[in-house]
Amino acid sequence: MHYRRVVVKLGTNLITGGTDTLNVEAMTNLVNQIANLRRKKIELVLVSSGAITAGREKLGKVKERKDIPYKQVLAAIGQNHMMNTYESLFKAHEMTIAQTLLTKTDLSDRQGYLNARNTLMALLELGVVPIVNENDVVAIDEIDELKFGDNDNLSAMVSNLVDADLLIILSDVAGLYTADPEMNPSAELLHSVDKITPEIEKMAGKTRNKRATGGMGTKIEAAKKATASGTTVIIAYGQETDVLEKAMNGKKIGTLFSTNTSKLESRKRWLLSGLSSKGRLIIDNGAVVALTQQNTSLLPPGIMEVQGNFKRGDIITIANSNGSKVACGIANYSSQDTNKIKGQNSDSIMEALGHEYGDEIIHRNNLAML
């Protein structure tokens, strides 16, 4: 198995078995598969939809409203119910889960992006399984009648956040067909897609169904985003026996979207993409060697000078004592804070600042060498 870090997106129809309630049997089956992969030391992040349906189930028979605030109410009620179910299913495997509610707005903000990334990375390091959903209660920007959030696209953003090797989108369709299989009996399943061209996007169409938010359209959007940031994507039928194991082992299943870019390359591109750097750190030769040859994070002792005004989460460049650029990355401390702790031992950060975000001025995960 060459996939080490995997994001698995579970659609509403999958965890409800296409009904109006959570389907514990279907969820157990999926959790068992995930636990098996965890035992093989695969790092996993789940992105699970289903809060709204779970809320409807919990509330029982009340007059249904179609408006968005009501859906937000249902999500608030149901998220808890859904997480409780996951909690007890993972407990049977003695595995710890973490609720991670994100909005796309959080992620488009640098600090939000950094905080979410650091939290998810730390959870993975601890061997915990994060379960992500959109924070529907506050997610307003994406909401219109057709599109209340969209966990397909969210799963692609999460794959980018954690540098996932593979994103598996499980739903009630087997993958991408040459035409809508419900309308056209000669539609064929595509087993692999090398590049998401306009023709491919056209094949996906705009199909949606009653309970799920996205159709194939949002899945292809997600596949496009994820493959562009170096993550391979598989869209497959979630009820297929051992679907995750098969996907991980390269069995012919669903539709596989390959990526032609490495995660490192794409992170570098992302870090360098038209974002003006807000400041510069001049580092000593020891730190240059550590960064370039030992792949370490940038720590306070190696920093000689802080230039410019930057906030935590801003992109900054790193230069050697001659002023030549060696790297760029996301600052974990503001320029003011960095000035106070430069040249010092990481142990004294707390004392110097009264707060701390870890030992690193730039974590190696957020660093692109030039």
Chain contacts with ligand GLU (rule: CB under 6 A): 12, 49-52, 75, 133-134, 136, 149-151, 212-214
Nearer to ligand GLU, 214 or 313 (CB): 214
CA distances from 37 to 41, 78, 232, 239 (A): 7, 27, 18, 17
Structure tokens at 368: 């692109």
Kindly state the helix (H) or strand (E) to which residue 97 belongs, with its residue range: strand 97-102
Smaller CB separation from ligand GLU, 14 or 129: 14
Min dist. Cβ of residue 173 to ligand GLU (A): 14
Q: How far is the CB of 152 from ligand GLU (least distance, A)?
A: 6
Minimum distance of ligand GLU from residue 76's CB (angstroms): 11
Alpha-carbon gap, residue 158 to 222, rounded angstroms: 10
Give the residue with the Cβ less far from ligand GLU, 169 or 341.
169
Q: Which is nearer to ligand GLU, 236 or 306 (CB)?
A: 236
CB of 210 to ligand GLU, least distance (A): 12
Cβ atoms of 215 and 173 closer than 8 Å: no
Contacts of 34 (CB under 8 A, 6+ apart): 8, 44, 46, 129, 244
For residue 111, give both structure tokens: 């600090």
Shorter beta-carbon distance to ligand GLU: residue 134 or 165: 134
Residue 49 vs 85, nearer CB to ligand GLU: 49
- Residue 72 CA to residue 322 CA, distance in Å, equals 55
Contact 134, 103 (CB under 8 A): yes
Q: Which is nearer to ligand GLU, 102 or 271 (CB)?
A: 102
Among 363, 360, 308, CA closest to 339: 308
| Least Cβ distance, residue 136 to ligand GLU (angstroms) | 5
Task: Give strand ranges (E) for 219-351.
Answer: 232-237, 255-257, 279-283, 303-308, 315-319, 325-330
Q: How far is the CB of 228 from ligand GLU (least distance, A)?
A: 20
Name the residue among 156, 154, 110, 162 with its Cα closest to residue 136. Answer: 154
* Of residues 51 and 298, the one with the C-beta less far from ligand GLU: 51
Q: How far is the CB of 153 from ligand GLU (least distance, A)?
A: 8
Residue 169 beta carbon to ligand GLU: minimum distance, rounded to whole angstroms: 11
- Taking the C-alpha atoms of residue 26 and residue 357, their distance in angstroms, rounded to an integer, is 40
Smallest distance, ligand GLU to C-beta of residue 263, A: 24
Q: How many CB atoms lie within 10 A of CB 171?
A: 26
Residue 12 CA to residue 31 CA, distance in Å, equals 15
Question: What is the signed CA dihedral for 273, 277, 280, 286, rounded to 10 degrees?
Answer: -20
- Nearer of residues 8 and 283 to ligand GLU, judged by Cβ: 8
The answer to whether 90 touches 96, Cβ cutoff 8 Å, is: yes
